[in-house]
Amino acid sequence: MKPRPARPRRSRIRGLLTTIAVVLLVLSSDAAAQTIGSGSGMRFGISFGGISTVGVTVEFFDEHRSVDLALGTWSFRDVSFSAVAKQYFGGGAAHPFVGAGLWLVAAAPRGERVGLAAVLRAPVGVDVRVHGDHALGAALNVNRGLFVRRTDPEDDLPLNKRLVPLPEVYYRLSR
């Protein structure tokens, strides 16, 4: 059986970004929504960095607190999921925040067993409302490994306990 040719990586990323943009446009067709600090609601978005190269997010907020769920990938052969509780501060267009949560990763390289990891995640950043329901943000995610199951069953190196900072930028649309 002949293996099918691999799709170029750039084409896959472009397709994913186009799909996300269409979903965001459809979701934004309703009337204006609440924003952080002014009630409760939901925000949908796209992120770059942090738990993945590219990811999609949904955030449920009530005034200055939220639960942020993210799903992403580093190389399209893995999946990252994160759930984080956040506390926002301030009352203007810019809202600094801190959070804490869990990041789970599963990777399935060809010919090897599935690798798993659980990581404690603590983002620190700022969320800025740029126009109406639109917001941009940046965070530094401080991470610490809790558990790892490596893809190589003979790899028995101990888990590295260092703090690992990973930067992230994102766009969010309030609903």
Instruction: Quote the pLDDT of residue 158.
Output: 84
Tokens standing for residue 41? 């609601």
* pLDDT confidence bin for 36, thresholds 50/70/90: low
The per-residue pLDDT for 20 is 52
Averaged pLDDT, 40-48: 93
Q: Name the phi and psi angles at 162, rounded to 5.
A: -65, 155
Q: Model's pTM, two decimal places? A: 0.75
3-state per-residue secondary structure call for 66-127: EEEEEEEECCCCEEEEEEEEEEECCCCCEEEEEEEEEEEEEECCCCCCCEEEEEEEEEEEEE
Mean pLDDT score, 87-108: 92
Residue 39 exposure: Cα atoms within 13 Å on the Cβ side: 9
pLDDT tens, 143-175? 999 999 888 888 888 888 899 999 999 999 987
Summarised one tens digit per residue, pLDDT across range 70-88 is 999 988 889 999 999 999 9
**Is 9-154+161-174 a domain of CATH 2.40.160.20?**
yes
Segment 48-66 mean pLDDT: 93
In the 8-state DSSP scheme, what is residue 25?
Answer: H
Parse the chain into domains and list their residue ranges. Answer: 9-154+161-174
Provide the token pair at 75: 């190389």
